[in-house]
A and B are shown apart, each in its own frame.
Chain A
Amino acid sequence: MQQILIYCKHGCKTMNTRVRTGAWVLGLLCALVAVALVSATIGPVAIGVGSVADIALAALLDGTTAAPAGHRTIVMSIRLPRIVLGALVGFALASAGTVMQGFFRNPMADPSIVGVSAGAATGAVAAILAPIAFPVALPVAAFVGALLAGFGVYVLASEGGRTPVGTLLLAGVAIQTFLGAVVSFMLVQAGRDLREAIYWLMGHLQHSTWTEAGIVAAVVVPGFLGLLVYARDLNVLLLGEEDAHSLGIEVERTKRLLLGVSSLLTAAAVAVAGVIGFVGLVVPHVMRLLVGPDHRILLPTSALAGAAFLVATDTVARAGTAELPVGIVTAAVGAPFFLYLLRNREVRTP
């Protein structure tokens, strides 16, 4: 492990950042496609990798396939939407987590550190318990709740045009605690809806549709590109705000942008998939270990690794006889792996 790490981080010094980034991104894209294909074969009806690829290619290129119509429906309407949405959610959470850890210069930071997930949970549980049901109410309520909580924390922590990172962190913790109390109160009153609410809170990708995937992609892709443009500024920001200012970074504006966009990504992910923990915390740490701290390479590789990780864990979650919420699997798999890295001092607290 150690040797591989040393090679990955330092062995290719002669390569410039662009080439290294390209190589990593290509490799992780291949891994993501492979995981997705394998995932699409798994389920109550076993479908071979060959047919899955055939069906997917046919759908993409508008061609024909020899696969039976039933298999086509299963792959195109049930499994692939779920896989694509899972990939988008993992992509969003891991990129937001990477930015938050850099932004807060804190290894404990995760995508919902400013209360975004707690806000989403409040909105979602309120929507579930609401006496009148609308078909789209749940994700919309979660999304609105997430943005309101994030924005509220930002406003509470700002004073005189400045937002000290430490204050932001503490305001986030306070709001999360408060909203946690609100959610608990609602759950106590929940009655028959309790099971659905709990299930949502644990994170899930059931009943995913192409529409959901499309909406999430419309938020996540532009948001991610925006973060990528600011990757170099984020690097400089890691030196501290005062240094970043003297190196020409508009500190407060950059902070607002990074915080806003990554909260938006988190909100989009949480709104459709519920609170899926650990992806946004562990994946950036692991990737930082592999590629180093430069966000120009760390951000895209973390995002892709997050996507692959979530597709893989969701496959595990739905592979058993009774489907588990994917949040349980990500935490159950992620935490021991993270502890292993921590004990081997391969993850260092920044």
Chain B
Amino acid sequence: MTPAIDVADLSVTLGGVSVLDSVSTSVDEGRFVGLVGPNGAGKTTLLRAINGALTPDRGTVRVAGQDIAGLGSRATSRLVATVPQSTASAFDFPVRHVVAMGRTPHVGRLGTRTAADRAAVDEAMARAAVADLADRPVTDVSGGERQRVVLARALAQDTPVLLLDEPTSDLDVNHQVRTLELVADLVDEGRTVVAAIHDLDLAARYCDELRLLYEGEIRAAGPPASVLTDATVEAAFGVRATVTEHPITGSASVTAFGDDGAREGDGRIHVVGGGGAATPLLHRLDAAGFEPSVGAVSADDRDAETARTIGADLVTIPPYAPVDDAARAAVADRLSHADAVVVADVTIAPGNRPVLDAVLDASAPVVVVDGRPLDERNVAGAAGRRLDDRLRDRSVVADEPRTVVDAVRRVVSSGTDGTPCRDIEADPRP
């Protein structure tokens, strides 16, 4: 089968700067492909080359088997519709008129629009949710509304291929989702869509495939989960990031970290977790370059899931079972090899007391996360409170997950004698 879009060996230079360098990729009919990559990666340029708006230095673009360079604007405009990032709206045409301009490729210069043209315009406005703006001047509608007007115009153009440049950048969350769902419907109807999308989560959620573009080349291509990984995101965007599975949509979700994510950590960190309390800490420690281990947690706990995702060493116990001797021994083993121990704001219960006791006996420095108030997470009564006090006495206290990495770095670099250095994020309570 001829691919809907076939880009071969495409090179583009703009203003003496090479923007695309030997890009080759193809898109099959009826697929929704997202172009992702940092600012200036060449996403818009690639779209402009596909619709023939610019002439490449080298290489060819074929749409439905036809070389775009050899087609006139009119023939191209019957194959490819484009929604640009921004549109001039110098004159106050009514919205309906702007959408009707989408029919230009189908109407002769002297011909009149037929009932079919009008029906196509009405349907396009209804699908892009701009029907109630039909008689407003396009200069008077908001930026997000105008973006949908231009989408309606592209729908009225009724082409097999649709190119979208940041179609959701000006939209509110409701219209972002509605727009991308509309695009997904169009794809189901057999159209081929290529969209440059900044929001990696939205791209992963709606696109069938992604192309990761940076430094003028396509560096990764395929299903979102294979294109978006910690390593590719770091390489493309230059930022430490963790890719997880979104709990609701199940698609890849990218969390980027700022400076605190610089990968300079080094050492084993044992994290005491449970009930998901350790999950954000594990991601951050992993992103910062530490080698975390977790335990003991229930085998079906969210923290266990996270540990498996990031490939951390994991000590588990059966669901709802207390920590047994074997688990306690396994934890003690991890503690003895750890450069530091982090205790998440876990529930203190008789069942996990053996683990916390083991932490008290450990020689490594300890960081305690002061998250949920103790009263809410202590089900071990007075014994739990005593345990918490003793733990805090010998620990550095970090007041939120974001500061834990800093605290861990400091205790690891200040030696492993286990003496508390409470100057960091001091506990406000006596």
Contacts and interface: CB of A to CB of B under 8 A. Distances in A.
B352 interface: no
A196 interface: no
Contacts of B97: 235, 294
B101 A246 contact: no
Contacts of B48: 242
B130 to A, nearest CB: 16
A10 B96 CA distance: 13
Given A245-B53, A251-B73, A293 B101 contact: no
A13 B135 CA distance: 9
A250 B52 CA distance: 11
A247 B92 contact: no
Contact of A250 (B73, B78, B84, B98): B73
Interface string A328-350: 00000000000000000000101
Contacts of B135: 10, 13
A239 B102 CA distance: 11
Contacts, number: 86
Interface stretch (B104-112, B216-224, B278-286): B104-112
A22 to B, nearest CB: 13
Contact of B109 (A233, A240, A247): A233
A71 interface: no
Interface in B37-64: 48, 51-53
B161 to A, nearest CB: 11
A249 B84 contact: no
- Interface size class of chain B, counting residues whose CB lies under 8 Å from the partner chain: 35 or more
Nearest to B80: A246
Contacts of A105: 88, 90-91
Contacts of A229: 109-110
Given A232-B104, A246-B53, A292 B88 contact: no
Contacts of B104: 232, 236, 247-249
Given A235-B101, A247-B104, A248-B78, A293 B53 contact: no
Given A18-B112, A232-B109, A235-B93, A247 B87 contact: no
A238 interface: yes
B72 interface: yes
A210 interface: no
Contacts of B73: 245, 248-251
Given A18-B112, A293-B92, A248 B74 contact: yes
A239 B88 contact: yes
A248 B109 contact: no
Interface in A162-189: none
A235 B72 CA distance: 19
A151 interface: no
A84 B74 CA distance: 40
Contacts of A248: 73-74, 76-78, 104-105
A126 to B, nearest CB: 38
A102 B91 CA distance: 9
B4 to A, nearest CB: 17
B164 to A, nearest CB: 12
A224 to B, nearest CB: 15
A239 B98 contact: yes
Nearest to A348: B92
Given A240-B87, A246-B76, A293-B91, 13 more contacts: A105-B91, A239-B87, A239-B89, A243-B88, A245-B51, A245-B52, A246-B81, A247-B102, A250-B73, A292-B92, A294-B93, A294-B97, A350-B91
10 contacts: A232-B107, A236-B101, A238-B90, A240-B87, A243-B84, A246-B82, A247-B153, A248-B76, A248-B78, A248-B104
